[in-house]
Amino acid sequence: MATIELTKDNFNDTLTENEFVLIDFWASWCGPCKQFAPVYEEASEKHDDLVFAKVDTEDQQELAASFDIQSIPTLMVVRDKTVIYAQPGALPKESLEDLIRQARELDMEEVRKEIEKQQADSGSQAE
């Protein structure tokens, strides 16, 4: 599956309708983004059961700002509408494959419990 372009208009629908989405925040002037693009594209063809999306940070500044994207490329992995990974930097092919493998193996029930626990802890500290 080829990558899809995410905009503020289709972003929520894409994340709601798909269980597993990888998002590449990039810009056309960014050298590391250009280096990462073929690695990302190749992974999208290999893992056709996952959604690979791209956000042009120049074109979609509002969307990039809502995720506090400070540096590009930034890769984000979203499973079940939960961000499980977000790091700047162009990954080599092996690292991207390893990240996808780890993200697939993640127990989302455990992730949700951990998030609830952290939110409860931070809520009790605020009092």
Active-site positions read 30, 33
Q: Hey, is 5 helix, strand or coil?
A: strand
Cα–Cα distances in Å, from 41 out to 4, 33, 121?
10, 12, 40
Cα–Cα nearest to 83, from 32, 28, 11: 11
Burial of 16 (0-12, 13-18, 19+ CB in 10 A): exposed
